[in-house]
Amino acid sequence: MTADQPPFERHHRTAQALVSTFQEALEPQFTAKGVLSREEFTRAMGLMMAHWPSVLPLFASICQSCTASSCGGCGGGSGTMGEEPPQIGAGGRRRDFVTRLMVSALRTRLPDSMDPITGASFPQVILPGLQSTLTALFYEKEWEAMNASVIALFNRLGTDRDAEVWQRLAHEETLAVLADTPFIRVMLRFRQFHQQRQTFMRRMTDQLRERHFVFAEEHFQTLFDALFGRLRDGLRTELGRARTDIQYGEGTAEALLRIFDQFDKHRQEQSVPVRVLGGRQMPRPMLAQRSMLGSTPAAKRR
């Protein structure tokens, strides 16, 4: 065994040796007592060992997340020998780590754009409204449970910095499944898509009123794509859909596909201009604009 072999490969070989030793120790007893036939026992062990290579990524993720800064062998840690990795807790300045994870996804996928008139920067300007709107989708205990899971995720990653989080998740399949869980749970709140979309947009507009920012249809579509668009990749194949159901519950893949279908249909409808008097075509008014128009005296007389 070479000295530069990654620790998780050593752990993997050690576990394999333990299982082999377990087999050798029990085989004479099973043969003598006749509880299991040799063929049955050998076949069972053969099936277990056939799946052995598939657990190597799990050993890798465990090693890299819990010992990266102390053993220095995985190459993923920046700490020194003997130092404990920094732990993130529910106390302190940041408490809502579910929103923190989602904002992290937004910042890595959406470039900042500034309104030349108001100077407001999107998506930064919507973050306070986004936090309260997302938490309103769940009961308090549900959100607390999700928050605890995300805190555990950040602690296993050893960071909550945007670029580092998604860079590490790209190479940590086990942790990536945990990271996608809150995104999927939020998206599933849009099963009744049109009703939930309107409720979401009204709440965002109310939350951002003091900032003089109108949360429009284009903002919703951009936000929806940035938060959930990457989930499409796992739904493109039958194997991907089966894996989604195994990881997140039976029927999850079908529910997500239906939501995406409704979103795509709605976006297509919004891209078609409407005809006005004289045959001219105009872009469809935004939801926020329609609600504001509805409060004018002329609208009330209608």
Q: Give the type of residue at 265.
A: K
Cα separation of 283 and 136, whole Å? 31
**How many CB atoms are located within 10 Å of the residue 277 CB?**
5
Mean pLDDT in residue range 281-289:
48
Mean pLDDT in residue range 28-51? 67
Decide which of 117 and 259 is more confident. 259
The three-class DSSP label of residue 121 is strand
pLDDT in tens, 204-223: 999 998 888 888 899 999 99
Q: Position 106: which residue type?
A: L
Return the pLDDT at 82. 38
Residues ≥6 apart with Cβ < 8 Å to 156: 65, 66, 175
Residue 93's pLDDT is 37
Q: How confident is the model at residue 40 (pLDDT cuts 50, 70, 90)?
A: low
Q: Residue 253's pLDDT is what?
A: 95
Task: Burial-class residue 150 by CB neighbours within 10 Å (0-12, 13-18, 19+).
Answer: buried
- Write down the pLDDT at residue 17: 62
Let me know if 202 is exposed, middle or buried by CB neighbors in 10 A (0-12, 13-18, 19+). Answer: middle
Per-residue pLDDT tens for 121-168? 888 889 989 999 999 999 999 999 999 999 999 998 888 888 889 999
Interval 239-256: pLDDT, tens: 999 999 999 999 999 999
Answer yes or no: are the C-beta atoms of 177 and 247 closer than 8 Å: yes
Is it the case that residue 108 has pLDDT exceeding 50? yes
In the chain, what percentage of residues exceed pLDDT 70? 59
Which pLDDT score, from 0 to 100, does residue 240 have? Answer: 92
160-202 pLDDT, tens per residue?
888 889 999 988 888 999 999 999 999 999 999 999 999 999 9
Q: What are the tens digits of pLDDT across the range 50-86?
A: 655 555 555 555 554 444 444 444 444 444 333 444 4
Encoding tokens for residue 37? 């036939």
Mean pLDDT of the chain: 75
Measured between alpha carbons, how far is 138 from 156 in angstroms, rounded to an integer?
A: 25
Residue ranges covered by each domain of the chain: 13-50, 97-271
Q: Does the pLDDT value for residue 294 go beyond 70? A: no
* 3-state DSSP percent of the chain in helix, strand and coil, to 5: 70, 5, 30
Give the pair of three-digit tokens for residue 158: 């050893």
CA dihedral sign of residues 140, 144, 145, 149 = positive
18 pLDDT tier (thresholds 50, 70, 90): low
Averaged pLDDT for residues 96-100: 91
Between CA 168 and CA 161 the distance in angstroms is 11
Q: What is the mean pLDDT of residues 104-118?
A: 81
- The structure's pTM equals 0.62
Three-state SS string across 205-253, please? HHHCHHHCCCCCHHHHHHHHHHHHHHHHHHHCCHHHHHHHHHHHCCCHH
Look at residue 114 in the predicted model and tell me its pLDDT: 78
